[in-house]
Amino acid sequence: MYAGHILATNLPSHDHTKSITTVADQWPTWQEIGTTLTLQAGFNTTVVIAGTTWLGVAAGVIGVFALLRKRALTSDAISHATLPGIGLAFIVANSLGMDGKSLPVLLLGAAISSVIGVAAIHWLIKNSRLHEDASIGIVLSVFFGAGVVLLSVIQSMRTGNAAGLNKFIYGQTAAMSVTDATLMCGIALFATICTVLLFKEFTLVCYNEAFAQVDGWPVTRVDLLMMALVVLVTVAGLQAVGLILVVAMLIIPPVSARFWTERLWLLVVLSGFIGGLSGYLGSAVSALLPRKPAGSVIVLTSGAIFGISMLIAPARGVIASLMRRMRLRLRIAAEHILEAAVENQQEHNNRDLVFPKSKLDELALIRAWPWWFRKFVLWRLRARGETIKGSHGGLILTPIGHGNGKRVSRNHKLWEQYLISYADVAPSHVDWSVDQVEHVLPEELVKELERAIEEDNTPLMAGKLS
């Protein structure tokens, strides 16, 4: 990643004479990196980094609820809808003789136009046959287009020195003053506190809107509050991150954190942490390399965290779930072999527990096991001490294997019995295939089935069950 990039290109940068002309940015020295990262690189830089970090925390925290409320795309529309507001605020302020570039004025304009954007989305959904995604797409592009036109109009105006307005599109932490950063930090802090205070209300509305409404909560107002906080964070982040990428700060931290936990408060904490970390690294890198926009670095950082989380998270990660699926398939296949071996022995009334190769081939054919999978299954059986190698490629069941095989075979029959006698009571379970269910039947259910079958006195299969 970029850290590695810095490392790789850092060495030749001692040669100052060439690098300025050939490389866009002058690469910082190790010392500069160290002082920036430990917040010792001057007051201005420190305030900007701290502000962006808090912004990341705030976005991560409120982003959890925006995501759970399925409003991720809406927040993208919010950020794009800020642009015409910025342009208009500049024009209005200038024509009133105020400083058109005053940050609070511009941000106020941004907030107003993004609120109008959200209202437009809702109006479209309600009053046309458009669905939410189309409405969002229309509002997002039209507002952004209007903003771009406005900026070019400003550029051509005589009064307008709009050179600074473009920074709201891509963001630029390096150009921020201490006042700007303090304002951003203040808004972010306020938004975080509000979210924590409204944690319970937001959870309820996100989880079950109908229940919340019946329970007497003003769902619409809670929703508006949530969106207002998203607007606040978006607007606060415009200067640092830029309107195109600020949405990533709202979405990526919560989805990354979601891989790691099933508990909401922990999700909020983790998401805030990931957001803060990416905000911190992004602004620090931007401070070191003045021409690198912080937004992209922030997004790359959180994107990397997302990628890692998706891969390695223990319960919900891709690798974990692949391994789980593979283990289950292996177990089911192994149990099929054990079951077949036990039934084979009962059928032929054999004394020895031999499962010949011909039967194994037959089973592999029916179950469509590839050769490598079959090898793997057989290896697993041996490794767990359930079988040993027999003559002519056959298997011999150990006492452990025999016991397990008997258990699987019995569950199988219990389940069939259950379906026959109780299918009308458990209509939701009928579609479970017997093959699958026998492997996941919990102990209690097996006991209940045995009891039920005894009570019913069904002669069917009762003999085989014992």
Partner 1 sequence: MTTSTTSAMRNVESDFSTTVVKAAKPIADPRQSPVVIRALTVAYHRKPVLWDVNYQAPSDALIAIVGPNGAGKSTLIKSCLGLVPTASGQVTFWGKSYAQARSRIGYVPQRESVDWDFPVSALDVVCMGRYRKIGWCRPVTKVHRDAALACLERVGMRDLAKRQIGQLSGGQQQRVFLARTLAQEADLYFMDEPFAGVDAATERAIIEVLRELKSQGKTVICVHHDLPTVPEYFDHAVLLNMRVVTAGPVNEVFTPENLRKTYGGRLTLLSEAVDAVTRASIVR
Residue 305 touching partner 1 (CB under 8 A): no
- C-alpha count within 13 angstroms, C-beta hemisphere, residue 54: 19
* CB proximity list for 230: less than 8 A, separation 6 or greater: 62, 66, 71, 74, 75, 78, 250
CB of 89 or CB of 124, closer to partner 1: 124
Rounded Cα gap, residues 411 and 193, in angstroms: 54
- Out of 13, 203, 398, 421, point to the residue binding partner 1 (CB under 8 A): 203
Residue 210 touching partner 1 (CB under 8 A): yes
Q: Per CB under 8 A, which of residues 242..271 are in contact with partner 1?
A: 258, 261-264, 267
Name the one range near partner 1 by CB under 8 A: 136-144, 179-187, 212-220, 324-332.
212-220
- Out of 103, 198, 304, 310, point to the residue binding partner 1 (CB under 8 A): 198
Least Å distance, CB 307 to partner 1, is 21
Token pair belonging to 50: 């701290």
Least Å distance, CB 270 to partner 1, is 11
Residue 211 touching partner 1 (CB under 8 A): yes
Size of the site for partner 1 (CB under 8 A): 30
Edge-to-edge order in the sheet of strand 387-389: 354-355, 395-397, 387-389
Residue 201 touching partner 1 (CB under 8 A): yes
Element (H or E) spanning 373, and its range? Answer: helix 371-383
Q: For the residues of 46-91, what is the DSSP string, one character each?
A: HHHHHHHHHHHHHHHHHHHHHHHTT-HHHHHHHHHTHHHHHHHHHH
Least Å distance, CB 210 to partner 1, is 5
Residue 429 touching partner 1 (CB under 8 A): yes
Residue 131 touching partner 1 (CB under 8 A): no
Of 213, 215, 221, 252, the residue nearest 66 (C-alpha):
252
CB of 86 or CB of 219, closer to partner 1: 219
Rounded Cα gap, residues 375 and 360, in angstroms: 11
Rounded Cα gap, residues 273 and 268, in angstroms: 9
Least Å distance, CB 219 to partner 1, is 10
Name the one range near partner 1 by CB under 8 A: 5-13, 77-85, 196-204, 383-391.
196-204
Name the one range near partner 1 by CB under 8 A: 34-42, 130-138, 141-149, 195-203.
195-203
CB of 93 or CB of 267, closer to partner 1: 267
Name the one range near partner 1 by CB under 8 A: 49-57, 112-120, 144-152, 215-223.
215-223
CB of 15 or CB of 262, closer to partner 1: 262
Rounded Cα gap, residues 457 and 78, in angstroms: 66
Least Å distance, CB 335 to partner 1, is 22
- Out of 98, 153, 214, 400, point to the residue binding partner 1 (CB under 8 A): 214
CB of 291 or CB of 429, closer to partner 1: 429
Rounded Cα gap, residues 89 and 107, in angstroms: 8
Rounded Cα gap, residues 412 and 405, in angstroms: 11
Residue 68 touching partner 1 (CB under 8 A): yes
Taking phi first (over 0 means left), then psi (-120 to 50 degrees means alpha), and beta for anything else, what does residue 192 get?
A: alpha
Least Å distance, CB 190 to partner 1, is 15
Least Å distance, CB 230 to partner 1, is 19
- Out of 197, 318, 328, 366, point to the residue binding partner 1 (CB under 8 A): 197
Taking phi first (over 0 means left), then psi (-120 to 50 degrees means alpha), and beta for anything else, what does residue 35 get?
A: alpha
Query: In 3-state terms, what secondary structure has residue 389?
Result: strand
Token pair belonging to 466: 């014992």
- The answer to whether 161 and 282 are in contact (CB under 8 A) is no
Residue 96 touching partner 1 (CB under 8 A): no
- Out of 17, 22, 31, 428, point to the residue binding partner 1 (CB under 8 A): 428
CB of 153 or CB of 423, closer to partner 1: 423
Task: Give the orientation angle of helix 43-68 with respect to helix 199-207, to 10 degrees.
Answer: 40
Q: For the residues of 133-175, what is the DSSP string, one character each?
A: HHHHHHHHHHHHHHHHHHHHHHHHSSS--GGGTTHHHH--GGG
Torsion of CA 223, 229, 234, 236, to 10 degrees: 160
Within a 10 A sphere around the Cβ of 331, how many other Cβ atoms? Answer: 15
- The answer to whether 374 and 357 are in contact (CB under 8 A) is no
- Out of 204, 310, 419, 465, point to the residue binding partner 1 (CB under 8 A): 204
CB of 170 or CB of 199, closer to partner 1: 199
Least Å distance, CB 437 to partner 1, is 13
Least Å distance, CB 271 to partner 1, is 11
Residue 421 touching partner 1 (CB under 8 A): no
CB of 202 or CB of 369, closer to partner 1: 202
Site for partner 1, rule CB under 8 A = 68, 197-201, 203-204, 206-208, 210-211, 213-217, 258, 261-264, 267, 422, 425-429
